[in-house]
Chains A and B, each alone.
Chain A
Amino acid sequence: MSSSEAKVVAIGQARTGRSEPPRQDPPEKLYEARRAVHNKRIDGPFRRFKWFVMFVTLTIYYVTPWIRWDRGPYAPNQAVLVDLAHRRFYMFGIEIWPQEFYFVAGLLIMAGIGLFLVTSAVGRAWCGYSCPQTVWTDVFQHVDRFVDGDRNARMKLDAAPWTWGKVMRRAFKWTIYVVIGFWTGGAWIMYFADAPTLVHDFWRGEAAPVAYITVVVLTLTTVTLGGFMREQVCVYMCPWPRIQSAMMDEKSLTVTYKDWRGEPRGSLKKAQRNPDQFGDCVDCLQCVAVCPTGIDIRNGPQIGCITCALCIDACDRTMAEIGRPRGLIDYITLEDAKREAAGEPARPAWKALLRPRTIAYFMLWGGIGLGLLFLLGARNHVAISAAPDRNPPFMLMSDGSIRNAYTLKLRNMVSQPRGMTIAIDGLSGAVMWTDSIGRDQAARSQTVTVPADETSTVRAYVVAPNATPQQDFAFTVRTTGKQPESARVETLFTTPGGER
């Protein structure tokens, strides 16, 4: 807002990267004002790919909570649901309990290795196409273009004084920002509750306070980060660019300006006058104009480059117009860049994908994925744990027998109530009863019903004849019904003589 015309000119000069000798005595500044980025509209294969990724990712984000999934009467019908209140995570046919969080941990590890894989193969493609910051910044930049016009119009409007028309225009634009931010935050909370019910409650003011707080916070952060801070997030806040430079090597694809082909640069007129003295770059600055982070790729690899390749689209278009081959700016590995600069023929980009490092990452990534799938298929939907009473550890009964008490936890991890038969395994002569069954029905096994998707706590009393020595034994649990499952837990039977 405070940026003046003079500043815009200065930035323009700075970006050309020429004609200015290094300043000898720069003024001491406490801070650096943000240089506004007004990126120009461009079309081309990479821009279309960016559109495609944006469409896919946003569709996944906004639509997923509305997919229904019938789980019967005892579980929610939302396909993807993070049920924090009941500590369950539903994802289509999969249901994750808190103690199965290793699945989530495994997915996070896969996501991490996936980033390594992608980065080592195609550089910062994550940053350029699918990072949420990139996607939402792109959305907001299209809003800018829709409201204020393309690059030149926006620069003019930015520099213009605050007239009534500009105020109205800005208010309109920021309103759209807020609406987009609200939609973003609104979609987020849908993952944590039944979406249709939540929308209904939300507008009637009956939703949980945390829902409103989340929407407000996410609206604000979306507008702030995507609408106003944009490339500042990538350059100053995000740790990933720093890590990425360590993940990449000379065999990773990256967006590169082929200076050996472009330099020395000069305008088309000059170049036509003296074709031998100039390279292919005609200094049209289109690569700078379209860049969403406002950098000049011709200055070499830099932290602001998110490898979205819009500059490739722009440069290829200029090259086509002046009848020169495409690829002055292109995806290329540093190794191939060296080779090409030395005059060797160009190698196809896909060859950078297949090399030991990427294959190793892929094997690791796929191995973890297969392991998780195996665990998912092999996991048990019933579990039992036993905590013996420690105070007192055993109890002498009036008939001389010895009683131990245990707190059993029975987990029923399916969305149907199930009968479960708890039995004593070992400990001959012992019988058990529970807090709800009673000693008069003491037996070797007891059946209880565990509600759908719940953990039941059962207090079990095990009584063994007087002379029983202290020993280990086990509780087994077996579900009754169609697909019986069983689990077992070892524990200790304590006796008066056993404390030695």
Chain B
Amino acid sequence: MANKHVDQLTGTQTVGHEWDGIEELDTPLPRWWLWTFYLTIVFAIGYVIAYPALPMLNRATEGELGWTSRGQLAKDMKAAEQSRTALREQLAQIPIEQLPDHPDLMQQAVAGGAAAFKVNCVQCHGSGGGGVVGHYPNLNDDDWLWGGDLKAIQTTITHGIRQPGDDATRNSAMPPFEGMFTAAELDALAQHVQALSHKAPDSAAGAKLFAENCAICHGANGGGDRQVGAPRLNDAIWLYGGSRAAIEKQVVKPHMGVMPAWDKKLDPVTIKMLAAYVHSLGGGEDFAPEQQQPAATVDDVQQ
């Protein structure tokens, strides 16, 4: 501030620069403005003392209040956990057969199941439960190897598929027919299996072979048997593919999937919620206690 410029008209000092003849007045700030500025400084100092703020070599200063974002998260998680306990208790008490009678509870179970599904099931079944042909079953359709009502789904999730050491596990074994058929026989058999769902003209030889070797599990018409987990062969859904080659391969060297028994990892309430979610995907079946309702077949549709 060597040489002070003073605006003659107002008597106020200028900032000392000039742009095309225009000078800027150096008007002092209002006092309240300055005080507000000082207050923000005081606030900032208080904030730095109270909260984690200054980055040091390994970690930031901790702050007098001891607050951390991780601690906050843990607290929030605990609170969220607690807010769910009431629902979980209700779900624990209600038998899964009665769940459809409580639409609100069912809805919450489906929501909880969707979350659990995304953590535990998507690795195989896909994020939408669509499965992978040749590997993992689609959970959205109306075809069930072991039954599609809530109870059946719950059992499947709880005990898994082909889990050694679990007596209640879903266990079925298709014998490998390797070496038992000639190539022609195998072809005829596969043609008959395709014919069951109208994918090909029937083959009398294949039908005979089927009746002798396969009908005991898969049924005379290929209707399957949920008691032993034998897949239905007369519908449009093929777990391991419906081409002639895929069928032949499955006859010769059967591919049989496994699924973990989830009771080792998940609690019963989560399993119940998972069952509700899988049931809600669109293929869930109602409880049919005694009579086995024959599902619609390709024949019905095409008539």
Interface residues of A (CB under 8 A from B): 22-26, 28-34, 229, 232, 236, 389-392, 395-401, 403, 405, 435-436, 439, 461, 465-466
Contacts and interface: CB of A to CB of B under 8 A. Distances in A.
Contacts of A32: 27-31
A33 B32 CA distance: 8
Given A30-B34, A31-B29, A399 B130 contact: no
B235 A399 contact: yes
Given A34-B30, A398-B235, A26 B6 contact: yes
B138 interface: yes
Nearest to B141: A395
Contacts of A30: 28-29, 34
B127 A399 contact: no
Contact of B301 (A236, A435, A465): A465
A23 B8 CA distance: 8
A397 B142 contact: yes
Contact of A229 (B27, B32, B129): B32
Contacts of A465: 301
Nearest to B286: A438
A203 B39 CA distance: 33
Nearest to B295: A398
B108 to A, nearest CB: 14
B4 interface: yes
Residue among A236, A390, A400, A466 with the highest chain B CB neighbour number at 10 A:
A400
A400 B301 contact: yes
Given A26-B12, A391-B126, A391-B130, 19 more contacts: A22-B8, A22-B9, A28-B1, A30-B29, A31-B29, A32-B28, A32-B29, A32-B31, A34-B30, A236-B30, A392-B126, A397-B142, A397-B237, A398-B142, A398-B143, A399-B297, A399-B301, A403-B141, A403-B282
Nearest to A228: B32
Contact of B127 (A23, A25, A391, A401): A391
A164 to B, nearest CB: 27
A399 B296 contact: yes
B143 to A, nearest CB: 4
Contacts of B11: 22-23, 26
Contact of B236 (A25, A28, A232, A466): A466
A229 B30 CA distance: 11
B98 interface: no
B9 A396 contact: no
Contacts of B143: 397-398
Given A31-B29, A31-B31, A22 B10 contact: yes
A232 B32 CA distance: 9
Nearest to B103: A436
A260 B97 CA distance: 97
A141 to B, nearest CB: 18
Contacts of B28: 29-32
B5 to A, nearest CB: 11
Contacts of B27: 32
Contacts of B142: 397-398, 439
A398 B237 contact: yes
Nearest to A27: B13
Contacts of B128: 389-392
B19 interface: no
Contact of B141 (A28, A389, A390, A397): A397
Nearest to A398: B235
27 contacts: A23-B6, A24-B6, A26-B11, A26-B12, A29-B28, A232-B30, A391-B127, A391-B128, A391-B130, A392-B128, A392-B129, A392-B130, A392-B140, A395-B130, A395-B140, A396-B236, A396-B237, A397-B236, A398-B232, A398-B235, A398-B297, A399-B236, A399-B295, A399-B296, A400-B301, A435-B280, A461-B282
Contacts of B1: 28
Contacts of A439: 142
A392 B132 CA distance: 10
B239 to A, nearest CB: 12
Contact of A392 (B138, B232, B235): B138
A442 to B, nearest CB: 11
Contacts of A392: 126, 128-130, 138, 140
User: Which 6 pairs show the lowest CB-CB distances between chains A and B?
Assistant: A392-B130, A391-B128, A398-B235, A400-B236, A22-B11, A23-B11
